[in-house]
Amino acid sequence: MLAGKRILLIIGGGIAAYKSLDLIRQYRKAGAAVVPVLTRAGQEFVTPLSVAALATEKVHTDLFDLTSEAEMGHIQLSRAADLVVVAPATADLIGKMATGLANDLATTLLMATDKRVLIAPAMNVRMWDHPATQRNMSVLRGDGMSVVGPDSGDMACGEYGPGRMAEPAAIVDATADLLASGPLRGRHVIVTSGPTHEPIDPVRYIANRSSGAQGTALAGALAALGARVSFVTGPASVPPPPGVDVIAVETACEMLAAVQGALPADAAVFAAAVADWRMAEARAQKLKKAGNGALPVLQFAENPDILATVAQMDHGRPPLVIGFAAETENVIAHATAKRARKGCDWIVANDVSPATGIMGGSDNTVTLISDTGPEPWPSLSKTEVARRLAARIAEALA
């Protein structure tokens, strides 16, 4: 699937660097050539000899290699690859990338490249959650870099949480998706997915019954057609697909901010089941039973309308804005009215009555509503619905 492709692999200095050896092996098994760049810190975890043996290529380590730099080697390295992959991308390396530093071979290559960049973050959970790291990641996503991972799990330091480097197989899959030639190559699509969780107190929240399966399938289908996908997801029960830029959120307000931060885009698809209301003021402490039968009074506020906000933008509106309408009665009439009210181009309508099994199920029955009227689709798997919709988006943007 990667036959003939050339990957420039930058190996950062973290314990996850040991996975880079298996990553090289899997790249070569998939038919790609790997040109390795090993940072000084990376050499503390894996040796140039082991990297070179697996890659069967010279390992590049020094910006001031006189032989290479006489021929402007760092420029040639950065331009000769089909894709630049940074794995592991440590907090330090991410910070340097976000601020534009170029004080060693790896960061100079990243500044000089005209190719797409895929980064696989790897660090301690506290470092990943730190505001500086999240700020730096937002900058890199805004610069158009793609991200795979990090995963959650046990860490070498003994802690548990997000920060583990994505497994080599997932990085290879993300690489294949990025390099896939397709009708959406060079296009940027935003996809929202999953429910939102609106806190009532520290242990309770308001949510919708959404697994995120349809939005996840759509994001993967768009990436497979070559699109750069910004995947803004609430706390879904299904994992995000490989090869997309994952932006995790909890609430509707966070989702709107993430969507606005991901703009501009060629298309935006709002598949998330956003809660219509939130608490006017979430309680700081857990609500307790009064003991006398009295019920707590909850005051609600209306959440922002993310679809309408983007569809009705005066400047920077994506050329194609698509909403989803999950209805339980009068599906076509309600969805058609919703399209007109929100100002979007298409609405994907479906009946989510409990008897349909669509919410949380593997199949879906949708009707695509556009300015030409309703177009019913047969009952299909959510994967096939995603493929069909992605193909229609590609046609519309052609």
Burial of 398 (0-12, 13-18, 19+ CB in 10 A): exposed
Nearest to 338 by CA among 322, 351, 319: 322
Q: Of the given ranges (1-10, 73-82, 330-339), which has the lowest mean pLDDT?
A: 73-82
DSSP bridge pairs for 326: 350
Check whether 286 is labelled as a binding-site residue: yes
Across 112-126, 134-148, 283-297, least confident range: 283-297
* Mean pLDDT value of segment 45-66: 85
Mean pLDDT computed over every residue of the chain: 88
Per cent of the chain over pLDDT 90 is: 53
Question: With bands split at pLDDT 50, 70 and 90, how would you rate the model's confidence at 343?
Answer: very high
Q: Span 344-370, mean pLDDT?
A: 84
382 is in an annotated binding site: no
Mean pLDDT over 249-258 rounds to: 96
Full 3-state SS string of the chain = CCCCCEEEEEECCCHHHHHHHHHHHHHHHCCCEEEEEECCCHHHCCCHHHHHHHHCCCCECCCCCHHHHCCCHHHHHHHHCCEEEEEEECHHHHHHHHHCCCCCHHHHHHHHCCCCEEEEECCCHHHHHCHHHHHHHHHHHHCCCEECCCEEEECCCCCEEEEECCCHHHHHHHHHHHHCCCCCCCCEEEEEECECCEEEECCEEECCCCCCHHHHHHHHHHHHCCCEEEEEECCCCCCCCCCCEEEECCCHHHHHHHHHHHCCCCEEEECCECCCEEECCCCCCCCCCCCCCCCCCCCEEECCCHHHHHHCCCCCCCCEEEEEEEECCCHHHHHHHHHHHHCCCEEEEEECCHHHCCCCCCEECEEEEECCEEEECCCEEHHHHHHHHHHHHHHHHC
190 is in an annotated binding site: no
Active site residues: 157
Q: Is the pLDDT of residue 295 over 90?
A: no
Mean predicted confidence (pLDDT) in 149-153:
84
For the chain, which domains are there?
6-179 (3.40.50.1950), 188-397 (3.40.50.10300)
| Mean pLDDT value across residues 63-70 | 55
Q: What is the mean pLDDT of residues 16-23?
A: 93
pLDDT at 359: 64
- Check pLDDT > 90 for residue 80: no
Q: Pick from 33, 43, 57: which is nearest to 12 by CA?
A: 43
Per-residue pLDDT at 165 exceeds 80: yes
**In this predicted structure, what is the pLDDT of residue 151?**
86
User: Is 270 labelled a binding residue?
Assistant: no
What confidence category does residue 360 fall into, taking pLDDT thresholds of 50, 70 and 90? low
Which of the four pLDDT bands, split at 50, 70 and 90, describes residue 69?
very low
CA distance 366 to 385: 8
Q: Is 338 labelled as part of a ligand binding site?
A: yes
Average pLDDT of the residues in 359-376: 87
The string of pLDDT tens digits covering residues 185-227 is 889 999 999 999 999 999 999 998 888 999 999 998 898 788 8
Is the model's pLDDT at 77 over the cut of 90?
no
- Tens of pLDDT, residues 97-137: 999 888 888 888 888 887 789 999 999 888 998 999 999 99
Range name among 130-134, 144-148, 370-374 with the lowest pLDDT average? 144-148
pLDDT surpasses 50 at 332: yes
Is the pLDDT at 71 greater than 60? The verdict is no
Check whether 385 has a pLDDT greater than 90: yes
Q: What is the mean pLDDT of residues 369-385?
A: 92
